[in-house]
């Protein structure tokens, strides 16, 4: 009876290398096929609507079939209620627990006006005797684990951006989710979300008035220079041709905004909200295209980095991205 000798170290190493190579090759083939399908099938789609529907007990499949794949916004009314944030996140809470944190404040539209501590900003809101109307944005929850525990990512919004290293997300201002605290009557100017991203916005406290426009109306919006709530038709005559949809987003509700939908947001009361830019299979090709237009090399690397997160960490470590 012939005894089989054990494999040598060299043979074991060679077998491991071949196995890894085959796995990587197979993943690459799957990636190429998936990208080919996405490029053919996933185009910018939107559906003209007269009203934004409010839905509860909405399954993920219904959300995809009836809204995402149709390019329609929707208000989801029964997701936030179980978050700890609903009871914890008050102006007093943020002042006492996060008062020393400095954040950017903006005045009208998206121009950064300066930095304020959370405590100073809460005092500014509470006193309410200033003629200025500042709102606080770009406060990323992921920097503060104690806040992350107070909310739960809605099942409707898988986000591929979370596959990327945090330092990389911060470098390109893609870190999410983001907290917004707004003084009554402050306005985030007319805009569409960057890089062909979709987004969601959840109201914790207060109410927001939001006016939305389908992507095909961009030619009437003057790159967002129009004040939707007080339009100057003498300076912006084409705005008269728009067909807008207006909603009031109430506390406890989430608004889903599809890619390239322009929107103008105004706080009807002092508000606390949380929101996130989204990158997933439903807008990925649009997102990649947007990045490619700005930087072809990084735009072509991004899909690979999302498919192979280890590659992203390596490229970021050596300064390629």
Task: Convert the pLDDT of each residue in 14-23 to its tens digit.
Answer: 777 777 777 6
In the predicted structure, residue 2 carries a pLDDT above the cut 60 = no
Q: Is the peptide bond before 177 cis (omega within 30 degrees of 0)?
A: yes
For residue 98, give the CATH number of its domain. 2.60.120.650
Q: Is residue 4 part of a domain?
A: no
- Cα distances from 112 to residues 116, 138, 319, in angstroms, run 11, 10, 28
DSSP annotation string for 145-188: HHHHTT----TT---GGGGS-HHHHHHTT----EEEEE-TT-EE
Look at the chain and report how many structural domains it folds into. Answer: 1
Q: Is residue 36 part of a domain?
A: no
Instruction: Show contacts of 310-319: CB within 8 Å, 24+ apart.
Output: 312/163, 312/164, 312/165, 312/168, 313/165, 316/165, 316/167, 316/168
Task: Taking residues 140-149, report their average pLDDT.
Answer: 84
Residue 108: how many other CB atoms lie within 10 Å: 15
Q: Is residue 35 part of a domain?
A: no
Task: Taking residues 288-294, report their average pLDDT.
Answer: 86
Confidence (pTM): 0.86
Contact criterion met (CB below 8 Å) for 142 and 175: yes
Q: Is residue 26 part of a domain?
A: no
Q: Is residue 163 part of a domain?
A: yes
| pLDDT tens-digit readout, 250-286 | 999 999 999 999 999 999 999 999 999 999 988 888 8
* Structural domain that includes position 240: 42-317
The model's confidence at residue 30, banded by pLDDT at 50, 70 and 90, is low
pLDDT of residue 126: 87
Give the chain's count of helices (H) and strands (E). Answer: 10, 13
- Per DSSP, what are the bridge partners of residue 263? 191, 212
Q: Is residue 279 part of a domain?
A: yes
Q: What is the DSSP letter of 22?
A: H
| pLDDT tens-digit readout, 54-101 | 999 999 999 999 999 999 999 999 999 889 999 999 999 999 999 999
Alpha-carbon distance of 68 to 60, in angstroms, equals 10
| pLDDT tens-digit readout, 220-249 | 999 999 999 999 999 999 999 999 999 999
Q: Is residue 58 part of a domain?
A: yes
Q: Is residue 22 part of a domain?
A: no
What is the sign, positive or negative, of the torsion defined by CA atoms of 292, 295, 301, 302? negative
């Amino acid at each position: 009876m012939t005894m089989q000798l054990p494999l040598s170290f060299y043979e074991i190493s060679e077998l491991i290398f071949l196995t890894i190579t085959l796995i990587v090759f197979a993943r690459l083939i799957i990636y190429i096929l998936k990208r080919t399908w996405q490029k053919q099938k996933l185009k910018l789609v939107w559906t003209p609507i007269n009203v934004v529907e409010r839905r509860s007990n909405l399954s993920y499949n219904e959300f995809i079939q009836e809204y995402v794949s149709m390019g329609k916004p929707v208000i989801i009314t029964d997701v936030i209620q179980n978050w700890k944030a609903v009871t914890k996140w008050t102006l007093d809470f943020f002042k006492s627990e996060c008062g020393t944190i400095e954040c950017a404040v903006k005045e009208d539209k998206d121009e950064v006006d300066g930095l304020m501590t959370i405590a100073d900003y809460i005092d500014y809101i509470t006193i309410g005797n200033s003629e200025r109307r500042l709102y606080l944005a770009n406060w990323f929850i992921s920097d503060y684990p104690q806040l992350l525990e107070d909310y739960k990512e809605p099942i409707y919004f898988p986000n591929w951006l979370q596959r990327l290293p945090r330092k990389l997300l911060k470098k390109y201002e893609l870190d999410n989710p983001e907290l917004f605290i707004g003084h009554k009557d402050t306005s985030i100017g007319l805009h569409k979300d960057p890089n062909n991203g979709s987004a969601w916005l959840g109201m914790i406290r207060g109410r927001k008035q939001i006016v939305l426009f389908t992507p095909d109306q961009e030619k009437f919006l003057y790159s967002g220079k129009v004040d939707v709530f007080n339009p100057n038709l003498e300076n912006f005559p084409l705005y008269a041709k728009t067909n807008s949809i207006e909603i009031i987003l109430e506390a406890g509700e989430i608004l889903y905004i599809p890619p390239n939908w322009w929107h103008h947001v105004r706080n009807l009361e002092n508000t606390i909200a949380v929101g996130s830019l989204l990158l997933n299979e439903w807008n990925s090709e649009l997102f990649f295209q947007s990045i490619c237009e700005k930087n072809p090399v990084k735009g072509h690397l991004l899909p690979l980095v999302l498919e192979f997160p280890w590659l992203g960490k390596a490229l970021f470590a050596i300064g390629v991205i």
